Copies of this chain bind each other. A is one copy, B any other.
């Protein structure tokens, strides 16, 4: 169902005003602020229609109207123009990306940070586990008496580095050999296919260095555990303190708890339907805990797996700004990460 031109205009005015002020919008103020060439009474008639159709609701008879979730949905689907980053924002982004970046996980957190700053909502970036990548080589570097650094390298970069204890007697060359043996066994294996029996065989082969082997196996094990989970970076959770809809302490606590806990947040963020910007509004969200929030979320390509980036905010959200910003940053992540590391 599509609305006629005037109804659309009125709906949009109400949405804009309501998003800005968080107050019900009356007929007079629609006419005044957006200087439409019609009278308040006409607007009232139209508003009554829009309410009948389900796009507006009235908190009580003598209040103005607020957009219903269906109203926001209509706006998002049929009218919204994504608002792109303005010059000063682009400049800031450039600056951030040019800063010295060590590991690429830095990029993720910086982009997330930027997203929450620009939109004033909480942002999240979910980095998928990298199942698809292959072991490339394993190195064991002595760094001190009884200590060594284990490096596990995959085709997308260094997957793990971890200190391990080693017998003090062992020579640097031998460590190299052990590393090579591991590399031989694991090289080309996909992470998710790593077979325990192969590793066991290795353990038999190198019987006399079993202690080191065990340490390495233990470390690799921990690494596998870690890489099995996707990781989450959250920024700007405190932005919701500024939203009047969360002045209620209980609500606030519920939402902040979710936003603080990676685990909870991961459960709540759905897979976006496509890599394009997806918007879910209020009750459209499956997870009960965020049915008074909206999500703007997009997928990005992270070494063959889909990562997610987005913002979470009140239903009364500046969708135009959020959608535009998420889209831009999605593209930037795609672009940055498409420069494969090796």
Contact = CB atoms under 8 A, between A and B. Distances in A.
A218 to B, nearest CB: 8
Given A139-B141, A151-B149, A163 B238 contact: no
A109 to B, nearest CB: 13
Contact of A151 (B141, B218, B242, B252): B141
Contacts of A100: 218, 222
Interface string A144-185: 111101010100011001110000000000000000000000
Given A144-B342, A163-B103, A238 B222 contact: no
Nearest to A247: B249
A161 B149 contact: yes
A256 interface: yes
A260 interface: yes
A136 interface: yes
A141 B144 contact: no
A332 interface: no
A137 interface: yes
A201 interface: no
Contact of A238 (B151, B153, B157, B253): B253
Interface in A240-288: 241-242, 247, 249, 252-253, 256-257, 260
A249 B240 CA distance: 11
Contacts of A143: 136-137, 139, 151, 153, 158
Contacts of A144: 136, 153, 341-342
18 contacts: A100-B222, A102-B222, A136-B143, A139-B141, A139-B143, A141-B141, A141-B151, A143-B153, A143-B158, A144-B341, A145-B342, A147-B341, A149-B151, A149-B161, A238-B256, A241-B253, A241-B256, A247-B249
Question: What are the nearest 5 A-B pairs in CB distance?
Answer: A144-B342, A143-B153, A241-B253, A102-B162, A161-B161
